[in-house]
Amino acid sequence: SLNLTGNVWGDPVPEVSWMKNDKPLLPDDHYTLKFEHGKFASITIAAVTTIDSGKYALLVKNKYGTEAAEFTVSVYIPEDEAEKK
């Protein structure tokens, strides 16, 4: 699995969302989203594969504005495993 985490705080409490390649991510069996105000927001990706490569963004928004943190994730198959296929 892979975990991406960002520190988050704001007043008023911000809305937090995650994006992958500019598309919203919703929690499911593959993505676990957590938010603890004043501490962190995180996404955990289960059973990571090459399909999970891409640009992830943590968006934090309240009435005063929006901030974003971007993460680039690159997943590669090790050469010895790629040769087995």
72 close to 20: Cβ distance less than 8 angstroms = no
**pLDDT of amino acid 79:** 80
* pLDDT band per the 50, 70, 90 thresholds, residue 84: low
Give residue limits of the domains in the chain. Answer: 2-84
For 10-45, write each residue's pLDDT tens digit. 999 999 999 999 999 999 999 999 999 899 999 999
In this prediction the pTM is 0.86
CATH class, 2-84 region: mainly beta
Exposed (0-12), middle (13-18) or buried (19+): which is 33, by Cβ within 10 Å? middle
33 close to 25: Cβ distance less than 8 angstroms = yes
Cα 72 to Cα 83: distance, rounded to the nearest angstrom: 26
For 53-82, write each residue's pLDDT tens digit. 999 999 999 999 999 999 999 999 888 766
When computed from its CA atoms, the radius of gyration of the chain, rounded to whole angstroms, is: 15
